Amino acid sequence: MNVNSQINSRRNKKQGGAALLILMLILALTISTVLVTGAGKKDNTVKRDQVSSEALAKAKDALVGYAYRNEGALPCPDSIGDGLADSCSTTEGWLPWQALAIKPLRDGGGACLRYVVSAAYEGVAPASLVDGDFEIQDVDNNTRNAGVVAVILAPLEALPGQLRGMGSGSSSECGSTDSSAQKNDVSNYLDTISGVNNAASNPTVFIQADKGNTFNDVSIWLSTTDITGSILVCDAGYTLINGVCELIQSCDDGYNLVDGNCVDIYGCLVTEAPNNGGQCKNIVCDDGYTANDGGQCIADNNGNSGGNGKGKK
């Protein structure tokens, strides 16, 4: 082997070693990038899930507080995403954040929360603690909870086929001022799995399952135990009047019980009588006399009727 051949051989070996080193560096950088990217995606997913969970928890707390302030009543849903409880004719809509006196709550995907409420609690205080209209199932259609009063759902990102356009309206905080716009349509937010459609009209069953390519709803709900203390149930013989248990009175013939008082057809109390103008006047009797149900002064049972029995109106 001549000198030139030896030099070329050494040069080729050096170049081959350098190329191998470069290849190893590229491979290491690629693996590092993949690992970092994967970790970043996982971190982002965890953060989004945490945001959704916190928003749902705040919404539930706000609804429980509302029920306690309103004798068990819950607000009606919001139809256009402006936060007002204006959709009492339906059971489902946006969470009415203004009615709850809170800021708009958004899930980890940036969407506002959806809300479903049972008819017995929607905008009115129930007379007693009754089961709600909804059932919660798992992915195997096993019942997790029944008699649910209200459900709050985080829709997250739109799935394929879900469109959230404004329609002919303008943007509200959460939806569109056009109530019929895609932006307000529940089917563009909630999903179906295991034969249960969370976006069904007049829903009775909701499903909670792990997120996937065709389902990403996250939910929380209110049961009767969450609002038990908000509904005042009176003992026998008492009735609820303005949030207070009042003793039920029995009225004489010709009088009806109104707000705990016995009144006649003119709205006058037992101790009152209508004058010629139809207004109620208090009856004040002389000593030894007592006003009867008709507003007349009659002698006391003990016979002590020192006065003339004339009442003063």
What tens digit of pLDDT does each residue of 12-27 get? 555 556 777 888 888 8
pLDDT under 50: residue ranges of the chain: 3, 7-8, 276, 303-313
| Contact yes or no for 34/81 (Cβ under 8 A) | no
Which neighbouring-strand residues pair with 312?
284
Determine the Cα–Cα distance for residues 194 and 207; give it in Å rounded to an integer: 8
Q: How far is CA 42 from CA 37, 45, 205, in A?
A: 9, 5, 31
Which neighbouring-strand residues pair with 262?
257
Both tokens of residue 89? Answer: 């004719």
What was the pLDDT predicted at 304? 46
CA 246 to chain CA centroid, Å, is: 30
What was the pLDDT predicted at 243? 61
| Contact yes or no for 176/213 (Cβ under 8 A) | no
Q: How far is CA 211 from CA 52, 214, 216, in A?
A: 13, 8, 4
What was the pLDDT predicted at 120? 94
pTM (2 d.p.): 0.65
DSSP per position, the chain: --HHHHHHHHHHHHHHHHHHHHHHHHHHHHHHHHHHHHHHHHHHHHHHHHHHHHHHHHHHHHHHHHHHHTTT-BPPPBSSSSS----TTSSEEE--TTTTTS---B-TTSPBPEEEE-GGGBSS--SS----SEEEE-TT--EEEEEE-EEEEE--SPPTT-----TTS-B-SSSBSSTTSGGG-GGGT--EETTEETT-SS--EEE-----SS---EEEEE-GGGSGGGS--PPTTEEEETTEEEEPP-PPTT-EEETTEEE-TTS-BTTEEE-TTS-EEE-BPPTTEEE-TTS-EEE-TT----S----B-
What was the pLDDT predicted at 229? 77
What was the pLDDT predicted at 220? 98
What was the pLDDT predicted at 173? 97
What was the pLDDT predicted at 20? 79
What was the pLDDT predicted at 305? 44
Which neighbouring-strand residues pair with 257?
262
